[in-house]
Amino acid sequence: DAGVIQSPRHEVTEMGQEVTLRCKPISGHNSLFWYRQTMMRGLELLIYFNNNVPIDDSGMPEDRFSAKMPNASFSTLKIQPSEPRDSAVYFCASSFQGISWTEAFFGQGTRLTVV
Amino acid sequence: SQQGEEDPQALSIQEGENATMNCSYKTSINNLQWYRQNSGRGLVHLILIRSNEREKHSGRLRVTLDTSKKSSSLLITASRAADTASYFCATDGATGANSKLTFGKGITLSVRP
């Protein structure tokens, strides 16, 4: 398996534009996480899915953020409209959750810059 | 929140010395994990310790868990310059199948050659 694959690796966009981040989790994992990392706030959990169902989206900053997982092998995080304060590195991670969690595997991240 | 909190926030040591990093959390957990992040990269899993374990080793890494104090420590022995990275602890709550995996803010370790 190639690991968790995120695209794009870098994204520069103008304020107000729509941004879509993509993630392909590891085959066989039943859970997927979206995290955001900034110097100020560290690593924040935005949302996680279990068996393609959103379980906890309490970390999603506001209505401008939305995430979907239409099937077990693909997820998107969308920001519409984007703002400069959304600039951060966004990580996708996948794991297997049974009775408890196994290790999470992270993608390389998408560095988003909103100007 | 069950989020782990690491301390110190930053640690600078000489190559060859041992590095000890601590993590505290607030609620009961199923397990605790430590991750490493090199600059500009994703997090990489280092070691997982279950709530019924007290100590675990992996190469130069030693992790302890004290559930009575809700704390864990990560010891890196005989540190190398290549160990320079940020280290995170992650916890999952013991409150049901849908507990989430949350991370602390991380510790920045610098190992001087």
pLDDT over 80 at B58, yes or no: yes
- Would you call B100 and A93 a contact, using CB atoms and an 8 Å cutoff? no
Q: Is B99 helix (H, G, I), strand (E, B) or coil?
A: coil
Q: Say which residues have a Cβ less than 8 Å from residue A8's Cβ, sequence separation at least 6.
A: A21, A22, A110
Closest chain B C-alpha to A75 CA, distance in angstroms: 18
The answer, yes or no, to whether the previous bond of A81 is cis (omega within 30 of 0) is yes
- Would you call B88 and A107 a contact, using CB atoms and an 8 Å cutoff? no
Return the minimum-mean-pLDDT range out of A40-44, A62-66, B52-56, B70-74. A40-44
Contact between B83 and B66 under an 8 Å Cβ cutoff? The reply is no
Pairing of the two strands A31-38 and A74-79: unpaired
H or E element: which one contains A75?
strand A74-79
What are A98's two structure tokens? 């049974």
User: Which pLDDT belongs to residue B99?
Assistant: 67
Q: What percent of chain B has pLDDT over 70?
A: 92
Closest chain A C-alpha to B52 CA, distance in angstroms: 13
Taking one residue from A and the other from B, the number of pairs with CB-CB distance under 8 angstroms is 59
Per residue in B77-104, pLDDT (tens digit) is: 999 999 999 999 998 876 654 467 888 8
For chain B, what's the residue count? 113
What are A114's two structure tokens? 């909103």
Residue reference for tokens 């320079």 = B84
Per residue in A52-96, pLDDT (tens digit) is: 999 889 889 889 999 999 999 999 999 999 999 999 999 999 998
Q: Is B83 helix (H, G, I), strand (E, B) or coil?
A: helix
- Would you call B42 and A45 a contact, using CB atoms and an 8 Å cutoff? no
